[in-house]
Amino acid sequence: MNNIAVFPGSFDPFTTGHESIVKRALPLFDKIIIAIGFNTNKKDFFPLVVRENWIKKVFVTYENVEVVSFEGLTIDFCKKTGAKYLLRGLRTAMDFEYERSIAQMNKYMSSGIESVFLLTTPELTPVNSTIVRDIIRHGGDASQFLPKEINLEDYKI
């Protein structure tokens, strides 16, 4: 078990975009840990436990995917779990610049951890959690942007 990657995010909610990145990255790693970062001071849209259960449902048949939540610095979580890679998806140039700052700061703080990026597929490029939340908040049907295992009916906001 050498190549462990952490896929960190708030996943509020986990979208088809996230799902596609994890599934396509799997052959590269021995294990991918989907790590839901939480912050006791920040207001969530969906409760942490709901997000965690949803993601677990999506990967229930995947033995080398683990779903956990964590508080604190992502690089500290990587060290604790023995992960040497941070996995991230890239959608747009704006995404890229933000991810680059984070990844390079992480590397300054812990040079042993490498960030690895995959591209979202073209048809999933516009999908992002902020817009998905906005659709749900206004009573729209966001189901096409969520993995089929995630049923919003399970949780009524």
Residue in this structure with the two tokens 């990026």, named with its chain if needed = 117
- Torsion sign over Cα 134, 151, 49, 103: negative
Which CB sits closer to a copy of itself, 60 or 134? 134
Indicate if 18 belongs to the active site.
yes
Indicate if 42 belongs to the active site.
yes
- Torsion sign over Cα 40, 42, 45, 51: negative
Closest CB 35 distance from a copy of itself, rounded Å: 14
Return the residues of window 78-107 that contact a copy of itself according to CB under 8 A. Answer: 84-85, 90, 92-94, 96-98, 100-105, 107
Residue 5-34 contact track with a copy of itself, rule CB under 8 A, x = bound: -------------------x--xx------
- String of DSSP letters for the chain: ---EEEEEE--TT--HHHHHHHHHHGGG-SEEEEEEE--TTSPPSS-HHHHHHHHHHHTTT-TTEEEEEE-S-HHHHHHHHT--EEEEEE-SHHHHHHHHHHHHHHHHH-TT-EEEEEEPPGGGTT--HHHHHHHHHTT---GGGS-TT--GGGS--
Q: Is 116 in the site for a copy of itself (CB under 8 A)?
A: yes
Indicate if 138 belongs to the active site.
no
Stretch that binds a copy of itself, among 48-56, 60-68, 132-140, 147-155 (CB under 8 A): 132-140
Indicate if 148 belongs to the active site.
no
One of 24, 91, 107, 133 is an active-site residue; which one?
Answer: 91
**Number of shown-chain residues binding a copy of itself (CB under 8 A):** 50
Closest CB 135 distance from a copy of itself, rounded Å: 7
Q: Is 145 in the site for a copy of itself (CB under 8 A)?
A: yes
One of 20, 51, 88, 129 is an active-site residue; which one?
Answer: 129
List residues with catalytic annotation.
Answer: 18, 42, 91, 129
